[in-house]
Chains A and B, each alone.
Chain A
């Protein structure tokens, strides 16, 4: 409880100290009265009057206090002893309480001061509190007892704050008598005037969304038949609006274990639910977009899981999208041009997303047509460069374009700003590069080609820079590491060199997309040469 100051200030004799406490001699009835108060379960104190020179009572000093006695400042029991009323509670002067004290001392008749409103001006102390005080003259002093009247009021205030801030309503239904009671905010939650009284459980079902009625039925059955609280979520109509409530119910039982009352707390979670639904919707849309994007990438550039069989070659390809963007600009092309010839190419359009992907699609389609027109790689690249400069001058791209002829085992190739190929022969790995300028930069870019003769069981590795590039690492460092890795794999003499290499090639940079093409020269190609 709170402070019961007003009640207690008896009268001392000794001069008060600065803080209102006096050093009183331990004489007279005080010890006896203190012993009595110690045994009383109430808030009470005994004061002695302090008289002025005119003999009038000028103040009271606490000489004894019950253990339960408590003032507005939170001082209890013997902490009160020695306090003087007016210094300790200045606002008491002149009030009905003060007058009552004086009257009781004067007449000897008990006084009851009810509804005394104590106003406290000190910070940190409730401004207003209400007490009932009785004052009786005892042993030349004043015995005061008090009780705080506003405890219930304060409890209600606390509950009301809790309900409002937590958007909580409380209700109870008596299953035997049919009585029901709702708290104030329970009415608010249901948009119902308190004057109408609470809804009984049947009427409550009627405002519950039809899909959620089974939930409520189930909940009621659960709490009446089982111990403990049951929590659930339902939607109820408040006017035309659906409100989402989270409800916790629990039953009180009689001696036989029969449920007699149901207590419930409801919380309005409409806003939370809506935010959640919105989030879920956004997530679904994102997933859908990701799926579409992956599909789109697959449509633009299908990646074959199984090996591609071309004249004299077996070819494995792989595309790894960037973690950050499913649509990328990396591409490959591996196609048969005739019974004896095949086109192999890998390229990289700078950037990601639709702009890069659409440029990539253009290049990939163009290269297909140009290759069938039987152009050499250098002529193909001249045309691709012109295409980009004309159609997509915003785009930078690199590519390595090669043509393999099984009749003479010759690989003809040209790089356009693209990193070297790797040629794997036995367990040695070497770089193969015939550099030309990037695509899409110079209107008059010109290219030349080089050729290399392949041997049976050779592997040619083409890739985009996501395979070897990593922040802080030089391109050639990455390339050397890759070469060492492949060499290591080859030293193990795998039965299937192509698959072994494909497995060993892991993109080093997941923020970039990566395309890998590995061609294996089949012994058959050799035989037919």
Chain B
């Protein structure tokens, strides 16, 4: 399913990957997203959008922590997808990520799914 353009970035506390599944880009963010990885995450999301966007599923299932700055980066990613006529769905059930999505009101605006398969199934069909 993956191709040579797959992205794979690791830091001490976090691990990011992006790969294409058909027309959808699957971005997986694992570990701790806090101040320490902010710049790495920003660069990674830029690259992921460039390679896989603008239809993305962001998988936060293995996320331990999502801070306010990282949330801002996710929101920017969503903005970019929308502005490009794309779509962004989030997979999250863990307390930390889900709670942040709730506090920031994003859960009411950005589709949130319990599993990656559900998210992929809900993504708009390729035109």
Contact = CB atoms under 8 A, between A and B. Distances in A.
Contact of B34 (A438, A442, A472): A472
Contacts of A415: 103, 105
Contacts of A268: none
A416 B100 contact: no
Nearest to A397: B72
Contacts of B72: 350, 396
Contacts of B109: 437, 441-442
3 closest residue pairs by CB, A with B: A437-B105, A417-B104, A471-B34
B13 A475 contact: no
A471 B35 contact: yes
11 contacts: A398-B68, A435-B104, A437-B105, A441-B79, A445-B105, A469-B68, A472-B32, A472-B65, A474-B96, A475-B68, A475-B99
Interface string A52-89: 00000000000000000000000000000000000000
Given A398-B104, A437-B106, A476 B35 contact: no
Contacts of B105: 415-417, 435-438, 445
Contact of B35 (A350, A437, A511): A511
| Dominant SS among interface residues on chain A | loop
Interface in A399-441: 415-420, 433, 435-438, 441
B22 to A, nearest CB: 28
Nearest to A464: B68
A465 interface: yes
Contacts of B106: 417, 437-438, 441
Contact of A473 (B65, B68, B79): B65
Interface in A453-481: 465, 469-476
Nearest to B102: A435
Contacts of B21: none
Contacts of B102: 435
Which of under 10, 10 to 19, 20 to 34, or 35 or more describes the interface residues of A?
A: 20 to 34
B75 interface: yes
B65 A474 contact: yes
| Dominant SS among interface residues on chain B | helix
A509 interface: yes
A436 B109 CA distance: 10
Contacts of A416: 105
B68 A465 contact: yes
B67 interface: yes
Contacts of B127: none
Contacts of B36: 471-472
A437 to B, nearest CB: 3
Contacts of B103: 415, 417-420, 433, 435, 475
Nearest to B13: A472
B65 A437 contact: no
B33 to A, nearest CB: 10
A438 B104 contact: yes
B106 to A, nearest CB: 7
Interface string B62-93: 00110111001001101100000000000000
B104 A437 contact: yes
A437 B108 contact: yes
Nearest to B65: A474
A388 to B, nearest CB: 12
Contacts of A476: 96, 99
B44 to A, nearest CB: 18
Interface string A468-503: 011111111000000000000000000000000000
B67 A438 contact: no
A410 B75 CA distance: 34
Interface string A233-250: 000000000000000000
Contacts of A396: 72, 75-76
A433 B103 CA distance: 8
B6 to A, nearest CB: 28
